[in-house]
Every structure is written in C-alpha cells, then in structure tokens.
Amino acid sequence: MPFVTFEGIDGSGKSTLLKLFAQHLKQLGLPVEITREPGGSDLGRELREILLRPEGVPPCPEAELLIYEADRAQHVATKIRPWLDQNIWVLSDRFYDSSLAFQGAGRKLKTEDVIWLNQFATKGLKPALTVLTDCSVDVSQKRRQARKADRFENEKTQFHETVRQEFLAIAKKDPERFFIINSEKAPNELLQMLLTEVKKRGLL
Ligand code: TYD
C-alpha cells in the first residue's frame, strides 16, 4: 500500500488536506493510518515535547537534527514499516524532507549530512508520493496566528521564506515523487486536485 507524506511550511494547510484525504480513503473502505513527525511513536511523543517547547536553552542545530532523526528512526521501525507490511495506507504529516528544509536550509546544516542521516534513520524507505502544500509566508502566518507558538513559530519571516524556497527546490528536483499544490485554495478543491493526481499516478 502507498506511503504518502505531506510537507510544507507551518500553516500551509497540509494537516487539513491530509485529514480530508484520509477520510476519503476510509469512505472507500481502505485501511488507513494517519501519523506525524515529530511524535509518531511513543518515544517520539517525548522527543516532540523536547523539540518544540519554546522554554529553556534550545538544542544546537546538530543536536536538533539528531533528535528529529531519532524520532524518525523509531517512527519508521515501530509504526510505518509494520503498517506498510500489513498493507495499510500510511499518511504522514511531515517526513524527511522537513529535515532538509528546516535543519538543512533553515538552520544552515550541510545538505549531505542531512541526506545521510535521513537515509540512516529510514533505512532507505521512500514515500510513493509527497504532497507539498505551498502558500506564501504571509498567508501561512495569518493561519498560524490562532495557534500556540512553538519553537519554529517564533522564528522570523525570513526563516519561513528560506524553508518554503527549499521545499520548492527539493520538489522541483524530484517531480516523480512530489505533487506541488497551491494551498491558498479552499480545502475541498485541494482534495479534488489531490484525488485527480493520485488516480493519474495509478495509486488509487
Ligand atoms: P508540525 O507538527 O507540522 O507543526 P504544526 O502542527 O505547528 O504544523 O511540526 C512541528 C515542527 O517541527 C514544525 O515547525 C517543523 C519542525 N520539523 C523540523 O524542523 N524538522 C523535521 O524533520 C520535522 C519532521 C519537523
């Protein structure tokens, strides 16, 4: 069964689209698991708390990347792989492209290091499809205003702009895996566009 990941800047609407897509698959009678990074496993929920709390001394970029990768390794080994082996559709709110965009471009760590660690943590597992919900930083900031700020939401506009541009660059380099969707449209319209794409790719 397909493994589909959703990526984008915070407030880009990826979680809303993921939920609508999951509902649609369930209505078709397909087995689906929804998960997320960080925090998709028991260990991951504890790591998520450490990663996102705004209080205290923040981890240095290298430590931050390693904690995301620890979360990912546990997530793949204890949740994603077993679900895929049981022929369940797996939809993940973020996966390894987030480390390339946030820790690589955002925190200025070397791309080769992030690629190597992603490979190590996932043992080479690749999504069949990655949906990039793309919108301007302005629009995402308006959507985010209603939420409790975490460590990344307190970052300056420039940080989010850098992350957005990196996501777009990664997606453009790998059009076979990525579907870029302009998420300024209404959620139901986005779902219809995604369904068309998924059918076109023969995943449904
Ligand atoms: P997320 O749960 O998507 O936050 P929200 O619910 O606010 O959209 O992700 C939490 C944060 O973790 C998000 O700001 C991006 C960051 N993150 C990284 O920096 N690197 C990573 O590898 C992952 C998976 C997430």
pLDDT tens for 46-85 read: 999 999 999 999 999 999 999 999 999 999 999 999 999 9
- Supply the residue whose CA is at minimum distance from atom 10 of ligand 1: 38
What DSSP string describes 94-138?
S-HHHIIIIIIIITT--HHHHHHHHHHHHTT---SEEEEEE--HH
Closest ligand 1 atom to residue 147 Cα is 7
Above 80 in pLDDT, residue 178? yes
In Å, what is the CA distance from 17 to each residue of 99, 162, 169, 202? 21, 23, 22, 20
User: Over 80: is that where the pLDDT of 154 sits?
Assistant: no
> Which ligand 1 atom lies nearest to the CA of residue 93?
3
Of ligand 1's listed atoms, the one at least distance from the Cα of 15 is 8
pLDDT tier, 95 (very low <50, low <70, confident <90, very high otherwise) = very high
Ligand 1 atom having least distance to the Cα of 144:
7
- Write down the pLDDT at residue 24: 98
* 98 pLDDT above the threshold of 80: yes
Distance separating alpha carbons of residues 20 and 32, to the nearest angstrom: 12
Determine the Cα–Cα distance for residues 19 and 176; give it in Å rounded to an integer: 23
The residue that leads in pLDDT, 46 or 143, is 46
**Is residue 71 lining ligand 1, measured as CB closer than 6 Å?**
no
Predicted TM-score of the model (pTM): 0.97
Ligand 1 binding pocket includes 75 (Cβ within 6 Å): no
**Residue 102 pLDDT exceeds 90:** yes
The tokens for 18 are 């993921």
Residue type for 54, please?
P
pLDDT > 90? residue 160: yes
Is residue 193 over pLDDT 90? yes
- For ligand 1, whether the C-beta of 7 sits within 6 Å is no
Distance CA 168, CA 93 (A): 17
Q: Which residue has the tokens 């493994």?
A: 3
Encode pLDDT of 16-42 as tens digits. Answer: 999 999 999 999 999 999 999 999 999
Distance in Å, CA 196 to ligand 1 centroid: 27
Give distance in angstroms: CA of 127 to centre of ligand 1: 18
How far is the C-alpha of 3 from the C-alpha of 33, rounded, in Å? Answer: 10
Tokens of 161: 């702009």
Q: 193: how many CB neighbours lie within 10 A of its CB? A: 16
- Residue 115, pLDDT score: 98
- Residues 71 and 40: their CA atoms lie apart, in Å, by 8
